Amino acid sequence: MANSRPERVGDQIRVEITGMLTREVRDPGIGFLTVTRVEVSADLQHAKVYYTTLGDEKARRETARAIERVSPFLRRQLAGRIRLRRAPELHFFFDESVERHDRIERILRDLEQERASRPPEAETAGASAEASDTKPDPPIEHDPADPG
């Protein structure tokens, strides 16, 4: 739950922009777009709107241009919908974190598939080879005359 005012305003802006993009904006360049988060400055004058979209790099660039075209409309609409003295300036950024998360998921899934496809004796042989390579540390002898 958002507890500071910029966080609450950011959540409200995210909800409003998402609604406007799905119901009111008729720009074909926008396509399927998801607003992932909005970070609002402490003085409530600037809002960083992070989004993600489906498609390749070309589709991403077209979406970025379309968002820049509709940005003034979104800001004017926000001014009437949220209770602030001045609507914050909107700055849009493609959210790379979603792509990074997907990449990590794919890597983990590939590792799991690789591990599952190995024959069981290979894992056991690898484990016993590792065990034979490592020797336990010799016991530490304690001098009874040493108090510490």
Decide if pLDDT at 80 tops 60: yes
Q: Each residue of 136-148: pLDDT tens digit?
A: 666 666 666 666 5
| 5-100 CATH fold | GMP Synthetase; Chain A, domain 3 (3.30.300)
Tell me the mean pLDDT in the region 6-25: 92
Rounded to whole angstroms, the Cα distance separating 105 from 84 reads 40
Structure tokens at 102: 């997907």
pLDDT over 70 at 6, yes or no: yes
Q: How confident is the model at residue 72 (pLDDT cuts 50, 70, 90)?
A: very high
Please state the separation of Cα 5 from the chain's center in Å: 22
Within 10 angstroms of residue 135's Cβ, the number of other Cβ atoms is 7
Residue 35: CB atoms within 10 Å: 20
Stretch 2-18: mean pLDDT: 89
- Determine the average pLDDT of the residues in 101-105: 84
Q: Is the pTM of this model over 0.75?
A: no
Can you give the pLDDT at residue 97? 80
Q: What pLDDT score does 134 carry? A: 62
What three-state secondary structure class fits 127?
Answer: helix
Residue 16 clears pLDDT 90, i.e. is over it: yes
